[in-house]
Structure 1
Amino acid sequence: MERSVFVKQVWEVLKEQVKYTPMMVRISRYEDRANYQSHYLGLLWEILNPLIQVAIYFLVFGYGLRGSSTLQGTDISFLEWMLAGIVPWFFINSVVMQGTTSIFNKIHLVSKMNFPMSILPNITIISNLMSYFVMTIIMVIIFLLKGTPINIYWGQYLYYFVAMILFLFSFSLFNATITVLIRDYQMALQSIMRVLFYLTGIVWNIPQLLPEWAANLLKLNPFMYIVDGFRDSLLLGKWFWESPSYTIYFWLLTFFFLFVGSILHMKFRERFVDFI
């Protein structure tokens, strides 16, 4: 009986995402305009900031530390390899950090508009999609200019994109709920995400630097599954089913955060205002 109640709570959260999708889009557009209305370049800063960071990382790690612009053992340029990882990472990092405080920072909206608080983490995802898509287009243009062939593996990009969105929603719902209950959680997660930038292999090839057992241990990080997946699809030509255990682990972790996050959210959301 109790198990069926938990499943019902998860299902209720998912139905809220579908029902309130138009409202999530409207709120995200309004917030984007509000955040940049006092800037001369406006929303263009969402593109300029990551482009500047990409240039810095490429100069430091592509030339400064590596002394080479080609990935060791391949004919893939370091710029292409780094872009395939850093573009999704910028999106992931922004969504995780903004989604973690989404309920705490935006709970005042609930008192002004009639909608469930479970959609607040998803608003963060939608708000960051525009800059992610533009950065992805720029990345693909660079790939084509450098002669990277378009092949059947590129179609797998859609699978990893959906996997990324579903994991980020599940993880953000969990984080946003815990942050309301435990304020220190957000600060701890911020520090962890800074470390994960390097442990996810965004700017260096972890399998070439670490022993096999250490590289496999780092795969417990779910973001590595997503980043490696984009690189496998766009550059290395590998299918996701070639690593079945890795794929099963990722989806089990995704459903864990969705399940636990939904249950905690439904249990405490009537009392969120009291905690804040």
Structure 2
Amino acid sequence: MHLVLLRFLKQHKFIFDMSKDDFKKKYVGSYLGIAWAFIQPLISLLIFWFVFQVGFKHMPMNDFPFILWFSVALIPWNFFSDALQTATNSITENSFLVKKVIFKVQILPIVKIYSSLFVHLFFLVFLFVLFSIYGFQPNIYYLQIPYFLICMIALLLGLSWITSSLVIFLKDVGQVVSMILQFGFWLTPIFYSLTAIPEKYQFLIKLNPLYYIIEGYRGIFLYHYWFWERPQQTLYFWLVTFIFLLIGYYLFKKLRPHFADVI
């Protein structure tokens, strides 16, 4: 048991170190370096805030300032979108590692997910500060943040095992993922409330597993409820995530022997 735990910790440290190196390499050569990882999402958030809050003078959502209601949904979406896109290309970007028999290629998508997680953690701190400015103090519901991080990482892992293995054989998969994410942004209630959708179509929005996570973040920061207070949605999310993990693991294992022949 101790040997298994030690092996897990060593492997996790290896993944974490690779993630840090990957995070740094993304911005090598640019003048501002890794600062771009935080500047770009922040500018996007400010643009949306200016358009909807200043330009259209969007009214408060459910009695909460629009910037809070909106940013608490956009920030987890940005993490999901960035992680899935980069994890999809994780194997093709590291083709030299694929030909090493002893290297576990399945960890490459995890490396990309962790790399995107670093930026997400920064924006979680940004949320804490933003909510404090508006007079919202930390509360016990913040303890759910690790749970929803695990939710996203598990979902991302299953999806990225599927997309990263398929993109080697079907180059168009990367473009399909980008297109799906564009549609997904508008099909996820990020800047609009679910109540804005006709009731008979609301179930379609709830089929999106990101709906569970987005509403979970709002439950933490705004509405103050626990994830187990939504038992049906929690069960549905983990069922879908488990299916993606099973499909992703099987597909990756099945195609792994052919990676070196194609890359």
Q: TM-score by structure 2 length?
A: 0.91
Match of 1:143 among 131, 153, 157: 131
Pair 1:76 & 2:64 matched: yes
Instruction: State the 1:113 CA deviation.
Output: 8.7
Instruction: State the 1:97 CA deviation.
Output: 0.6
CA contact (8 A) 1:102 1:121 kept: yes
1:182-228 deviation digits (Å, cap 9, x = unpaired)? 222221121010111111121222x2311122122111111111111
Stretches of 4+ moved more than 4 A in 1?
16-19
* AA in 1 matched with 2:148: Y
Match of 1:166 among 154, 159, 167: 154
**Aligned match of 1:198:** 186
* AA in 2 matched with 1:272: F
State the alpha-carbon separation in 1 of the partners of residues 95 and 134 from structure 2: 47
Pair 1:238 & 2:225 matched: yes
* AA in 2 matched with 1:259: L
Aligned length: 258
Instruction: State the 1:132 CA deviation.
Output: 1.0
CA contact (8 A) 2:97 2:105 kept: no
Gaps of 5+ in 1: 1-15
Q: 1:41 to 1:249 in 2, by over 3 A?
A: same
Query: What percent of counterpart residues are identical?
Result: 32
CA contact (8 A) 2:85 2:178 kept: yes
Instruction: State the 1:150 CA deviation.
Output: 2.7
Instruction: State the 1:125 CA deviation.
Output: 1.0
Q: Secondary structure at the match of 2:168?
A: helix
CA contact (8 A) 2:98 2:259 kept: no
Instruction: State the 1:148 CA deviation.
Output: 1.5
CA contact (8 A) 2:23 2:115 kept: yes
Q: Secondary structure at the match of 2:22?
A: helix
CA contact (8 A) 1:63 1:69 kept: no
Task: Give the alignment's Cα RMSD to 1 decimal.
Answer: 2.0
Match of 1:220 among 193, 196, 207: 207
Q: Secondary structure at the match of 1:181?
A: coil
Q: Secondary structure at the match of 1:36?
A: coil
Instruction: State the 1:139 CA deviation.
Output: 1.2
Instruction: State the 1:144 CA deviation.
Output: 0.8
CA contact (8 A) 1:57 1:203 kept: no
* AA in 2 matched with 1:216: F
Pair 1:264 & 2:251 matched: yes
Instruction: State the 1:87 CA deviation.
Output: 0.9
**Aligned match of 2:38:** 47
State the alpha-carbon separation in 1 of the partners of residues 158 and 8 from structure 2: 12
My pick for the range that moved more, 240-249 or 121-130, is 240-249
State the alpha-carbon separation in 1 of the partners of residues 137 and 180 from structure 2: 36
Q: 1:58 to 1:113 in 2, by over 3 A?
A: farther
**Aligned match of 1:7:** none
